[in-house]
Chain A
């Protein structure tokens, strides 16, 4: 025992250049010194250059009047608003595209994956063609194609393609009816909230009851009834407080209704179709990673094939799917910055583009934009990690 300890301590006693710990410290100190020197030199040049070029190094521009219009805004904004407000408009537009893009891409991805795995030859071949076609063409090219070729070739407002006289498609985008809320509209909203809460409560009750007695509850039908029935009932009882404002053609354009600009439509279309192709590959790999034995065991127990998919295969596949799916969601949000090429006013176009050009504050705008994307990535991956923990295999 003593011999061992002595032998173990021996290299520590001497001071040698060959001691890996000492070398490690020396390397790191050198690296840090080089990095500090680099940053210090670069920033001193930056300060000198910016002073020479008259570029501001603070956020004073934040409260100055922006003086430019943004065609699509989720919050009130005009040319008289400040650069700070322009930042928020851009951020909300980015989040809007990101959120809708993720929903659409996920739906496309799961549907195409199931189609591609289907025993139906023609359907699975079509799904394969979709995946191989869209994931091997640059997203930017697809966006430009949707924007310049497809959407710009739509008719003028006067010759709009109309669906039931309520939805109009033309070269300026899609015009849909707008919801108008009257006095008691909140009742319907609360009924919806109540429906959601009751649905969650009922599904928890159903799961507990099944665990305790083995009897299943009709969760699907009850949830549908609660989610649709309650708001409809409230709507009728409150005297139909929500109306629709129909778009009407006046002169050369529509008035009323809500307009979805072609930039947004092209961006959403391109992002969802492109990312959907990647997601479908991930989902397919996940489903295929579930062993054949699982299917066979389920059918040996007499479980029907769609229940097998829902209760046996998908829960196990999710473990494989979720981590790469998170990556695709992050990619989608980052790729939404391609909006700048087709003129959709997202964060990059508004803040790292127009605001930067008008104020010249390159470092602040770039750093803030980069920081926002980092924050979005962080939040999104945290949420997905929580979900991943829930679906991950619990090992005992």
Chain B
């Protein structure tokens, strides 16, 4: 069979090469990118235009308010009152020390600074995955540091440090303190509660489950109110606990109930073989938990623990309801100061507070996402 007849019989067979297609006009470059990612269809184009309109509406206003129209230098609120269109930054500079330390005596500020530096160093040591001897850091952070900070902040005549009563504590100091107490106490308490809830002993189980569910079922404000109003009632006459201690107790118990559920989740994720393996090498209940289950379960739920810490950090703002001078409360007090009242002072103060909380919370959530990625990478092998 010759080629010609073959070509005749099979009409679809091409005998000459097809002409080359022109190169795709817009496969790459900014225009192609915009077409793919911004204007891929009528709905998408409409959304893009709406977004751009929104940004054009918001961003110039924000820039004007925060930067170009803002007052940057002034000694009092006069200039801010005269200028109505922008933020009043001198208010923040003037009140910075009050925001940070509250009414804490100025000559003793170094004590707060020292506690904060030591705390920050320990936290970095604890959270840095590659750091050596992180268990030492944990011990220092959860045991030594709370004692050190209490002694330093409170002071004692015996050490030659003048006593600063807790009603003089305020600002960022109190916000960090409440979060710290919540974190330091909620983790061990939460582990105990989780163990109790997973326990086969019916009474232990009922008590722990009841506590966890009741605390998780009521708002934090109610827990704070209870700690504030009812704690003194349940103690002998004259034993009135310190006014800062009461919300701290409430915070620790509240955070512990939430922590317990996270820890329980980790323990439930442990395969049965881990318990059986521990039992077969002759470990008792506490040994199994301490050496086998908890180390793995806690590592598994680090993201959950961190997200609990984030909520706790945000919730510390509520302690203002029982008259504690936390950071947000100092901001509110400061912008009501008649020296600085102006139409934009409150907005300036609240934006500063928002930036502060946002940086902390966003940082923590980024950290927990990083840990999550590491854990997932570890599990794949």
Q: Please say whether chains A and B are actual partners in one complex.
A: yes
Give A contacts to B, CB under 8 Å: 20, 24, 27-28, 31-32, 35, 42-43, 45-46, 48-50, 52, 55, 115, 118-123, 126, 132-133, 135-142, 144-145, 148-149, 153, 330, 334-335, 337-338, 340-341, 348, 352, 356, 362-363, 366, 369-370, 373-374, 377-378
Cβ contacts under 8 Å, A136 to chain B: 310, 357-358, 361-362, 365
Partner of A148, one of B54, B314, B317, B346: B346
Cβ contacts under 8 Å, A126 to chain B: 51, 54-55
Q: How far is the CA of A335 from the CA of B54 in the complex (A)?
A: 30
Cβ contacts under 8 Å, B47 to chain A: 115, 118, 120, 123
User: Known pairs A120-B40, A122-B38. 15 more at Cβ < 8 A?
Assistant: A45-B235, A52-B237, A136-B310, A136-B357, A138-B314, A141-B328, A141-B354, A145-B347, A337-B222, A338-B318, A340-B221, A352-B221, A363-B233, A366-B226, A370-B222
B222–A373 touching, CB < 8 Å? yes
Q: How far is the CB of B315 from chain A (nearest CB, A)?
A: 7
Q: How far is the CA of A133 from the CA of B226 in the complex (A)?
A: 32
Cβ contacts under 8 Å, B56 to chain A: none
Q: How far is the CA of A50 from the CA of B358 in the complex (A)?
A: 43
Stretch of B18-26, B158-166, B201-209 on the interface side: B201-209
Q: How far is the CA of A356 from the CA of B25 in the complex (A)?
A: 74
CB of B225 within 8 Å of the partner chain: yes
Q: How far is the CB of A38 from chain B (nearest CB, A)?
A: 9
B354–A45 touching, CB < 8 Å? no
Q: How far is the CA of A28 from the CA of B202 in the complex (A)?
A: 8
CB of B117 within 8 Å of the partner chain: no
Which residue of chain A has the shortest Cβ distance to B348 in the bound complex?
A: A149
B201–A27 touching, CB < 8 Å? yes
Q: What sequence of 0s and 1s flags, for each residue 214-235 of chain B, a beta carbon within 8 Å of any chain A beta carbon?
A: 1001111110011001101111
B321–A341 touching, CB < 8 Å? yes
B204–A145 touching, CB < 8 Å? no
Q: How far is the CB of B143 from chain A (nearest CB, A)?
A: 25
Q: Which of B315-368 contact A (CB under 8 A)?
A: 315, 317-318, 320-321, 328, 332, 343, 346-347, 350, 353-354, 357-358, 361-362, 365
A133–B358 touching, CB < 8 Å? yes
Partner of A138, one of B221, B235, B317, B362: B317
B44–A120 touching, CB < 8 Å? yes
Cβ contacts under 8 Å, B204 to chain A: 27-28, 31
CB of B52 within 8 Å of the partner chain: yes
Q: How far is the CB of A117 from chain B (nearest CB, A)?
A: 13
CB of B37 within 8 Å of the partner chain: yes
Which residue of chain A has the shortest Cβ distance to B40 in the bound complex?
A: A119
Partner of B362, one of A50, A132, A377: A132
Q: How far is the CA of A42 from the CA of B236 in the complex (A)?
A: 8
CB of B68 within 8 Å of the partner chain: no
Q: How far is the CA of A368 from the CA of B233 in the complex (A)?
A: 17
Cβ contacts under 8 Å, B365 to chain A: 136
Which residue of chain A has the shortest Cβ distance to B359 in the bound complex?
A: A136
User: Can you spell out 30 A-B residue pairs with CB atoms less than 8 angstroms apart?
Assistant: A24-B200, A27-B204, A28-B201, A45-B237, A46-B234, A50-B233, A115-B47, A119-B37, A121-B38, A126-B54, A126-B55, A135-B361, A136-B310, A136-B362, A137-B354, A137-B357, A137-B358, A137-B361, A138-B317, A140-B320, A141-B354, A334-B218, A338-B318, A352-B221, A352-B222, A362-B230, A366-B230, A369-B218, A369-B222, A370-B226
Q: In the A-B complex, list the 4 residue pairs whose CB atoms are closest, starting with the nearest.
A: A136-B361, A138-B314, A42-B234, A337-B219
B229–A120 touching, CB < 8 Å? no
CB of B48 within 8 Å of the partner chain: yes
Q: How far is the CA of A120 from the CA of B335 in the complex (A)?
A: 41
Cβ contacts under 8 Å, A48 to chain B: 237
Known: A28-B203, A141-B317, A334-B219. A122 touches B225 (CB 8 A): no
Q: How far is the CA of A335 from the CA of B314 in the complex (A)?
A: 12
Q: How far is the CA of A363 from the CA of B320 in the complex (A)?
A: 21
B221–A337 touching, CB < 8 Å? yes
Q: How far is the CA of A135 from the CA of B307 in the complex (A)?
A: 11
> Chain B at the A interface: mostly helix, strand, loop or mixed?
helix
Q: How far is the CA of A369 from the CA of B173 in the complex (A)?
A: 32
Cβ contacts under 8 Å, A119 to chain B: 36-37, 40, 44
Cβ contacts under 8 Å, B52 to chain A: 122
Q: What sequence of 0s and 1s flags, for each residue 183-218 of chain B, a beta carbon within 8 Å of any chain A beta carbon?
A: 000000000000000001111100100000010011
Q: How far is the CB of B91 from chain A (nearest CB, A)?
A: 14
Q: How far is the CB of A297 from chain B (nearest CB, A)?
A: 23
Cβ contacts under 8 Å, B217 to chain A: 330, 370, 373-374, 377-378
Q: How far is the CB of A19 from chain B (nearest CB, A)?
A: 13
Q: How far is the CA of A32 from the CA of B206 in the complex (A)?
A: 11
Cβ contacts under 8 Å, B357 to chain A: 136-138, 141
A145–B354 touching, CB < 8 Å? yes
Cβ contacts under 8 Å, A377 to chain B: 217
Q: How far is the CB of A121 from chain B (nearest CB, A)?
A: 4
Known: A27-B204, A120-B38, A144-B332. A45 touches B233 (CB 8 A): yes
Q: How far is the CA of A52 from the CA of B238 in the complex (A)?
A: 12
Q: How far is the CA of A138 from the CA of B310 in the complex (A)?
A: 10
Q: How far is the CA of A155 from the CA of B273 in the complex (A)?
A: 67
Which residue of chain B has the shortest Cβ distance to A363 in the bound complex?
A: B230
Cβ contacts under 8 Å, A28 to chain B: 201-204
A120–B37 touching, CB < 8 Å? yes
Q: How far is the CA of A122 from the CA of B38 in the complex (A)?
A: 7
Which residue of chain B has the shortest Cβ distance to A366 in the bound complex?
A: B226
Cβ contacts under 8 Å, A374 to chain B: 214, 217-218
Q: How far is the CA of A28 from the CA of B329 in the complex (A)?
A: 44
A123–B237 touching, CB < 8 Å? no
Partner of A122, one of B48, B214, B219, B315: B48
B318–A366 touching, CB < 8 Å? no
Cβ contacts under 8 Å, B343 to chain A: 153
Cβ contacts under 8 Å, B318 to chain A: 140, 338
Q: How far is the CA of A374 from the CA of B213 in the complex (A)?
A: 9
Q: How far is the CA of A126 from the CA of B218 in the complex (A)?
A: 34
A140–B328 touching, CB < 8 Å? yes
Cβ contacts under 8 Å, A362 to chain B: 229-230, 233
Cβ contacts under 8 Å, B54 to chain A: 126
Q: How far is the CA of A256 from the CA of B39 in the complex (A)?
A: 48
Q: What sequence of 0s and 1s flags, for each residue 281-314 of chain B, a beta carbon within 8 Å of any chain A beta carbon?
A: 0000100000000000000000000000010001
Q: How far is the CA of A118 from the CA of B220 in the complex (A)?
A: 36
Q: How far is the CA of A348 from the CA of B357 in the complex (A)?
A: 26
Q: How far is the CA of A67 from the CA of B219 in the complex (A)?
A: 27
Q: How far is the CB of A267 from chain B (nearest CB, A)?
A: 14
Indicate the member of A136, A338, A341, A356 with the most B CB atoms within 10 Å: A136
Q: How far is the CA of A46 from the CA of B44 in the complex (A)?
A: 65
B219–A373 touching, CB < 8 Å? yes
Cβ contacts under 8 Å, B44 to chain A: 118-120, 123
B233–A122 touching, CB < 8 Å? no
Q: How far is the CB of B155 from chain A (nearest CB, A)?
A: 30
B219–A46 touching, CB < 8 Å? no
Cβ contacts under 8 Å, A352 to chain B: 221-222, 225
